[in-house]
Structure 1
Amino acid sequence: MAFCASARSASLLRSAPHPCRNLTRRPVLTQYGPAFQSAHPRFLQSTSSESSRKTHRFIPLQLLALGAIPLLAGYLLGRSGAPGLDPASQGKLSQVDFADRKHMLLAAKEISSALGDDALSFDEDEIELHGHSDWSTSNSSGRPVAIVYPRTTEEVSQIARICNKHNVPMVPFGAGSSVEGSFSSPYSGICIDFVHMDKIIAFHPDDMDVVVQPGVNWVTLNKTIQDAGLFLPLDPSPTAMVGGMVSTNCSGTNAFRYGTMKDWVVNLTVVLADGRVVKTRRRPRKSSAGYNLTSLFVGAEGTLGLVTEVTLKLAVVPQDTGVAVVSFPTIDEAARAATGLIRSGIQLGALEFMDEVQMQVINRHGSAAVRKTAWDEKPTLFLKFSGTTDGIKGDISRVKDIVQPFNPRNIFFAKDKQEEADLWAARKEALWTMTSIKPEGYSLWSTDVAVPISRLAEIITLSKEDSGKLGLFASVIGHVGDGNFHQAVMYDPKNEGQRAAVAKCVHDMMSRALEMKGTVSGEHAIGIGKKDCLVDELGGDAIDLMKTLKQAVDPKWIMNPGKVFDLPAGSKAVAAS
């Protein structure tokens, strides 16, 4: 989870260098260690407390593709004739001017007339809940004028037609667990909450797929279909909804074995900015018919369209699982052991890492179940085995031999299902424990990057050294199997020195990830928080191409504006500050 927002640099980090700007040059910053060290013990103090109304019409996919051809052709001609020139400067992108508050409220009333008064809310508390997240430091100060709660694709289409007519931004909202400000409303507008679109539309056990609305929670889905021996094998936050999972191309602890959300989406029903409804493809497992429009919308964060139905592939629930926990003297030894495990062919369902600081926090602030174990406060690997019972027994017997060359300190193997759950709970509670120990008024800046696996130990070590030199209290959690890690840093947002220190840590982590041919966002998308980072990662030409694609499907730029990249140059719309 990462927070390097352009909006944040205007609020939390007014005096600090933006963590995603000029990544090729690392800023020099005075060390603040002595001022922070005395605060660290209180972070670790032990605690005794337990802790469908109308049939919608689908537009042919060929028409969508044809609409993009002139824009793409113009883009490519412009690039060949003027390398390095922003398409916006060539007049190829619209200059955006959203409706003012008066006309936004007019659109909201029109939506209320179409859907009913009970489908809309102007309640100030609800508006605040839908415009600000305590999980994120990438919040804008803008707020939607109203929240609308659709129940069908047709209702979403009606909302889009009205907003398009009035030039009103639309911001999708799922579980509200984004850490990059993906549901912030920097330009105000209408927030569309999919909580009532929580139906399982069709379940095809023989085909191993399911059709759901975006408001379905993935945990609830798996409980509903478990008797069929099938499940959606991703493992993000337990509160996550399918729509948000599609929007961010989420993953989680199971990504090492099962991949990310894009690997499990068969097709999507999407409402475009003008209210048209498209189906990205049909239901077979494979298709080479036309452009891969499904992948275009997965990970787009609602900037291209509003997802209203999702067809998901399902996996067979493994016959058995197992859990092991292994601690090591150093991060390097833990990382080399992880590489050995990956290359061994063992049936691992997940391979996770927590550093010595996070293990200290777990020991003192984990749940009662987690604190049954006296955890070794050293860099630790968490292994989840997945497969047949006999296969897992064989794999477990091999683990000791595989990790032995890397000086393991302690090796725990779960003896039964209860112990398995308790051991794995330590990993699942990691972020919660860091959040729970924040002193009053403090924030948690949690940053995620991904690098080639061979560079993971190096970047973790350097990042920890940075936070240590600056006296910041920080822990590391990693998805070792795919080179992804998160650093959670505690800081006081009212303290100018701490804001500057944490901004430097984030800046250097992003810079190193790019130097190592990595990415600044492994699994939480871009949102507001990493727009500047994305330019450094992909380059201006790639961003210009993305903008051209957006222009083709959303010419008024009303779909979740201000996310992934900024509005076209010269736009009159101004984000709230």
Structure 2
Amino acid sequence: MRSPQRSRPDEATVARVTLELQRRFGNRVVTSLAVRQQHAHTTTWIPAEAPDVVVFPQSTDEVAEIVRLCAAEAMPVIPFGVGTSLEGHLNAPFGGVSIDTSQMKAIVAVHPEDLDVVVQPGVTRKELNEYLRDTGLFFPIDPGADATIGGMAATRASGTNAVRYGTMKENVLALKVVGPTGEVIRTGSRARKSSAGYDLTRLFVGSEGTLGVITEITLRLAGIPEAISGGTCSFPSVKAACDAVILTIQCGLPIARIELLDEVQVRGVNAYSKLSLPETPLLLFEFHGTEAGVKEQAERFGEIAAECGGTGFRFSTDPEERSKLWQARHDVYWASLGLRPGAKGVASDVCVPISRLAECLAETKEDIERSGMIAPIAGHVGDGNFHVMPLVMMEDPAEVERTEAFMHRLVERAMRMEGTCTGEHGVGSGKMKYLKAEHGVPAIEMMKLLKRSIDPDDIMNPGKIVAV
């Protein structure tokens, strides 16, 4: 059955739901405009659309209570972590209730002998790793921002370590989810594999809050490496750097992280992070293992890089030196803004098979040059994923139009090369228009069928991924 056309709740419904929420949760219910706008903020050019009310639950039972109340009134529900999503995931185009999970910060259980941990969704990745430090274990998924674990699961996040440790898809063992009628669903167990029924865990990982609210996550952990070597190497072109990455992967070197910064991005990083890197395309790399192993692997990578025209190769096992480099990598958003003061950074990402990476990046660089844009590139190139951030003067309609056309060509180029419109930013509302071309009509219809079957009243983060 097709759900009725979604519309905003009327004022009387909003007032009724708000009063009931206030009765049950007191001052953890907020209706001020500033807080509501914060819960719809977006770092891209998608206009912010604020919810009607924000609630701060502290347990799965409270989330279930909120969802049941919203379901009875057909009120939209929008889960919120810390707001690092980039494609309008947090917007409330039809109003509704933003469920802010920032007060759900319990680390429920750590099982060092099984290399897993159970957490509530409001725990951030840095908080988790600080807590785990004395166990000799860590959670390896690193999207750069200090995102919440719940948000990372909902968006199927990945990041700089994905080439070795995988994405959230590979690292979530089980979930507790509140469904659209307030029922609590448990998916999976702490067992490392199972053949028991449909894989509901993978269904909810990456569903962006459109099927339920994640309230507990069981994660795989990894051992903190005995030794880490990391460093940099400069290249004459983006293509030469990509060739080195492809050859490294094909040779079977167990690289943990390998990141590309183009010459524009390096220039921004040097200014922002006070570094003096050569302003040519740059690879940052890291190996994890034993003292002897990481030294041998780094040296072998140096040989491969030299074959591809790499220069200035250097590596170190000094934690302080490595941390400075990786912090600079994580700060590329802010570094990029400094390249054109007053401009807005509009970030997008695509991902292609690694064999097409050099071609895709070279074409993208040519497109940027032809378009007369400043658009630094940084990428998790070990898995074919890269980010482009045009710097746009939003008050110039012609420039905005030119940038929109470029972003469209970027996605079309990736899909032409058998890639995807988004490697890790997700769909939200910003990239819904590309899903049909990427997946085909039958797959989109199946996604819609799943959405309608699980959420017939379309209350869970409506207007995202697929329109029902």
Contact 1:169 1:560 in 2 (8 A): yes
Is the counterpart of residue 385 in structure 1 residue 295 in structure 2?
Answer: no
* 2:227 corresponds to which of 320, 329, 353: 320
Partner in structure 1 of residue 36 of structure 2: 127
Equivalent residue, structure 1, for 2:296? 394
Alignment of 1:229-378 (within 5 A): 229-366=136-273, 368=274, 371=275, 374-378=276-280
Q: C-alpha displacement at 1:517, in angstroms?
A: 0.6
Amino acid at match of 1:448: D
Trace 1:128-277 onto structure 2 (pairs within 5 A).
128-133=37-42, 135-140=43-48, 142-277=49-184
Structure-1 residue corresponding to 2:437: 536
Equivalent pair of 2:227/2:317 in contact (CA under 8 Å): no
Shift of 1:94: 4.3
SS at match of 1:473: coil
Per the alignment, residue 358 of structure 2 pairs with: 457
Higher relative contact order (CA 8 A, sep 6+): 1
| Bigger mean CA deviation after superposition, 189-198 or 344-353 | 344-353
Name whichever of 145-154 and 401-410 sits farther off.
Answer: 401-410
Name the residue aligned to 2:460.
Answer: 559
Cα distance in 2, alignment partners of residues 436 and 106 from structure 1 = 47
1:111 to 4, 18, 21: 21
Q: Quick one: distance in 2 between partners of 1:543 and 1:125?
A: 36
**Large movers: runs of 4+ above 6 Å:** none
Deviates most, 254-263 or 356-365: 356-365
2:30–2:53 contact (8 Å) kept in structure 1: yes
User: 2: CA distance between counterparts of 1:436 and 1:171?
Assistant: 33
One-letter code aligned to 1:533: Y
**What is the deviation of 1:403?**
1.9
1:200-226 CA distances to partner (integer Å, 9 max, x unpaired)? 011111111111100001111011011
What is the CA deviation profile of residues 524-571 of structure 1, one whole-angstrom value per residue up to 9, with x for unaligned ones? 1100110001122112221111111111111100000001022x3xxx
How far apart are the structure 2 equivalents of 1:414 and 1:286? 37
RMSD: 1.4
Displacement of 1:281 after TM fit?
2.1
Structure 2 counterpart SS, 1:301? coil
Contact 2:9 2:95 in 1 (8 A): no
Once the two structures are superposed, residues 222-251 of structure 1 have per-residue CA deviations (whole angstroms, 9 ceiling, x without a partner) of 110111111111001332001100110000
Matched, 1:420 2:322: yes
Which of 181-190 and 237-246 deviates more?
237-246
- TM-score normalised per structure 1: 0.79
Equivalent-residue separation in structure 2 for 1:105 and 1:543 (angstroms): 36
Cα distance in structure 2, aligned partners of 1:297 and 1:228:
29
Is the Cα contact below 8 Å between 1:137 and 1:180 reproduced in 2?
A: no
Q: 1:325 & 1:520 partners in 2: Cα distance?
A: 29
Partners of 2:381 and 2:326 lie apart in 1 by 15
Once the two structures are TM-superposed, the CA of residue 438 in structure 1 deviates from its matched residue by 4.4
Corresponding residue SS for 2:113? coil
C-alpha contact (below 8 Å) 1:323/1:423 kept by paired residues: no
Tell me, in whole angstroms, the C-alpha distance in 2 between the residues paired with 1:165 and 1:275. 10
Query: Which secondary structure state, in structure 2, belongs to the residue aligned with residue 206 of structure 1?
Result: helix
**Rounded Cα–Cα distance in structure 2 between residues aligned with 1:382 and 1:476:** 14
CA apart distance, 1:414: 2.3
The Cα shift of 1:93 comes to 4.6
Gap change, CA 1:516 and 1:413, over 3 Å in 2: same
Q: Which protein has the larger Cα radius of gyration, Structure 1 or Structure 2?
A: 1
Whole-Å separation in 1 of the counterparts to 2:285 and 2:144: 19
Q: How does 1:509-548 map to 2 (within 5 A)?
A: 509-548=410-449
Tell me what 1:11 maps to.
none
Aligned equivalents of 1:459, 1:123: Cα separation in 2: 46
* Alpha-carbon separation, structure 1, partners of 2:229 and 2:76: 48
Q: Please tell me whether the aligned partners of residues 74 and 459 of structure 2 are also in contact (alpha carbons under 8 angstroms).
A: yes
Residues 98 and 167 in structure 1, CA contact (< 8 A), matched pair in contact too: no
Q: CA deviation at 1:479?
A: 1.0
What SS does the aligned partner of 2:231 have?
strand
Q: What residue is the counterpart of 1:47 in the other structure?
A: none
Residues 196, 215 of structure 1: 8 Å contact kept: yes
Q: Which runs of 5+ in 1 are unaligned?
A: 1-90, 569-577
- The answer as to whether partners of 2:144 and 2:160 remain within 8 angstroms in 1 is no
Select the residue among 328, 332, 335 that pairs with 1:430: 332
- Whether the 8 Å CA contact 2:354–2:382 is kept in 1: the answer is yes
1:136–1:178 CA contact under 8 A, matched in 2: no
Using structure 2 for the length normalisation, give the TM-score.
0.97
CA shift, 1:439, in A, is 2.2
Could you report, residue by residue, the CA deviation over 1:25-69 in whole angstroms, capped at 9, with x for unpaired residues?
xxxxxxxxxxxxxxxxxxxxxxxxxxxxxxxxxxxxxxxxxxxxx
What is the CA–CA distance in structure 2 between the aligned matches of 1:381 and 1:278, rounded to whole Å?
43
Q: Report the Cα distance in structure 2 between the residues aligned to 1:422 and 1:539, rounded to whole angstroms.
A: 44
Question: Once the two structures are superposed, what CA deviation does each residue of 1:497-525 show, in whole Å capped at 9, x if it has no partner?
Answer: 10111011111111111111100010011
Match of 1:474 in 2: 375
Identity between Structure 1 and Structure 2 (%): 39
| Aligned twin of 1:101 | 11
Query: In structure 2, what residue type is equivalent to 1:494?
Result: E
The secondary structure found in structure 1 opposite 2:177 is strand
Give the count of matched residue pairs: 468
